[in-house]
Amino acid sequence: MAQVPQRFFDALAVRTWCGLSLRALGRAREEIDAINVYPVADGDTGTNLYLTVESAFAAVEAVFAAHEVDGAVRDAGEGARDVDEDTVNADEGALKADGGPSLADAVGAMAHGALIGARGNSGTILAQLLRGMAQVLAARGDSGHTEGAGLRLALRHAAASARQAVAHPVEGTVLTVASAAADAAEEAEGGCAEVARAAYEGARAALVATPGQLPVLERAGVVDAGGHGLVTVLAALVETFTGRAPGPVAVPHARVEHGGEGPAAGECATEGDESGPAFEVIYLLEAEDVAVARLRQRLDALGDSLVVVGGDGLWNVHVHVDDAGAAVEAGVEAGRPYRIRITHFGHGDAHTAGTERPPRERTQRAVVAVVPGEGLAELCTEAGATTVLARPGEPPASGELVQAVRRAHAREVVLLPNDAELRHTAAAAAEQARTEGIRVALIPTRSAVQGIAALAVHEPERRFDEDVVAMTSAAGATRHAEVTVAERQSWTTAGICQAGDVLGLIDGDVAVIGADVSEVAATVLDRMLSAGGELVTLVLGDEAPQAVADRLEARVRDAYLAVDTVVYRGGRQGALLLVGVE
């Protein structure tokens, strides 16, 4: 079915573009993975680009959802407007100023989501391309939208900023394709549709030419995988403004057998070096510009494929090194690194061709748990689970969960999402893992305290079905609550709250609105225990004072004699307090 075209580049166009890009990359992911030979033939460029755009799309959707809630609050206060009519102007294809996010809101969310979710070399570069576009579009979006001239400037700035982010730009890569797109866009006349089509055609022509610029591509008989991904994203941009996607790109696609005996094996490391670094290191970094400049110099001396993207105090760092610890230590000296991912280029790829290492035997069963803070991650790891850290505002993508399932290296996996908002993401990850021959059971835990309860009764020696039933039963028998602080005025099931109010949520719904953390927590606990219980689990966030837990423990001890209490420190988990009652 044809897409309804957008006339201008506004917030709704951003949302549409991200959604179409995600869908297009989902279709092209395996094809792009199959031709990935540079800078490392690890066959994951398509997947990394998909995960990067998935994170960008999720961030944009969150902004739209937040504005829908705010619109409902305004309507509740005024009692005179219909939210749906105010939110979307169907005739103009653009959001009204009082009914939805601005262009600056939408492109800012897109850029931030891509930054925190960027994966791999190409994903990190794509994040910088989106950030470069966002900087121009946000500055030109005072009227709520921009037209062809703004899109031309955005594409030029995107290409330039991506080159600046790469320590040693190489022609014949996604950087070349991005520059060609910007060059073609500058020659285009007309609105966004004409500019987008010109950029796509310029990028497509540059992509076809990449084998002539990079010998490793010519030897493998493929085009650049990252460039192919960018052409796919630009095709989605054309569809956004015309309603129809361009035809398939006719380019060489000789399939590369990663880790096999094909011509690309052992030939796809950095030019002139067939035994490149052993590790890929990626992390988010909170640091000042001056510190990042020093970090670039140090990491450039440690390895290759260095890409540092971001700004305004938050950066995504990507580098290939032999000494992963030194790369992380450099980040620690520059600021605060987190979401650190270290990948060893495995047996048979470009960096380890010729090494003989037998594959590790799979265990029978494992548990993969999403956790909201470092404290719970340590607790679950000690209990034998493979953990995925979900920091506040940074939910993991489905690909990250799939990678965790693979990392668990088991024939059978129990997946605990521990968040109601992750149920679809977890279901997609489970389905993907099943196609790889892994037996996966998804237990729809809605909170980390339910995950703790499930993990407590996990017994790998039991039959898989019996273990899943026992864990599901334990999770289902655990009521969950949290105490948090409202970030904005909102309508809730307990009434309208103001920014800064303390909220007590029971089983996902706001039940208490107050001003004091201890008072709200005590009220929540009393309501939960009014239905009975044997064990109370308290998980304190890093901003919650110990006195809150001490008061609750004393309350349980004095008023509920048959109930035990256990307290954990959760770290940076978003909520001030998580409560579980079994």
pLDDT at 490: 83
pLDDT at 17: 95
Q: What is the pLDDT of residues 433-445, one digit of tens each?
A: 888 889 999 999 9
How is the chain split into domains, by residue range? 9-242, 279-344, 363-476, 479-581
What is the arithmetic mean of pLDDT over 172-195? Answer: 93
Looking at per-residue pLDDT, the higher value among 142 and 309 belongs to 309
CATH topology of domain 9-242: 1.25.40
* Euclidean distance between CA atoms 320 and 185, whole angstroms: 33
3-class state of residue 509 by DSSP? strand
Question: Does residue 319 carry a pLDDT above 60?
Answer: yes
Q: How many CB atoms lie within 10 A of CB 359?
A: 8
CATH topology of domain 363-476: Rossmann fold (3.40.50)
Write out 176-190 in H/E/C secondary structure.
HHHHHHHHHHHHCCC
Give CATH for domain 279-344: 3.30.70.260
CATH class of 479-581: alpha beta
pLDDT at 1: 44
pLDDT at 355: 36
Q: What is the pLDDT of residues 551-564, one digit of tens each?
A: 999 999 989 888 99
pLDDT at 469: 92
pLDDT at 501: 93
Q: What is the pLDDT of residues 260-289, one digit of tens each?
A: 333 333 333 334 344 568 788 889 899 999
What is the arithmetic mean of pLDDT over 404-432? Answer: 88
Question: Does residue 313 carry a pLDDT above 70?
Answer: yes
State how far the alpha carbon of 191 is from the alpha carbons of 8, 149, 405, in Å: 8, 7, 46
Q: Phi then psi for 312, rounded to 5 degrees?
A: 60, 35
Reported confidence tier of residue 4, pLDDT bands at 50, 70, 90: low
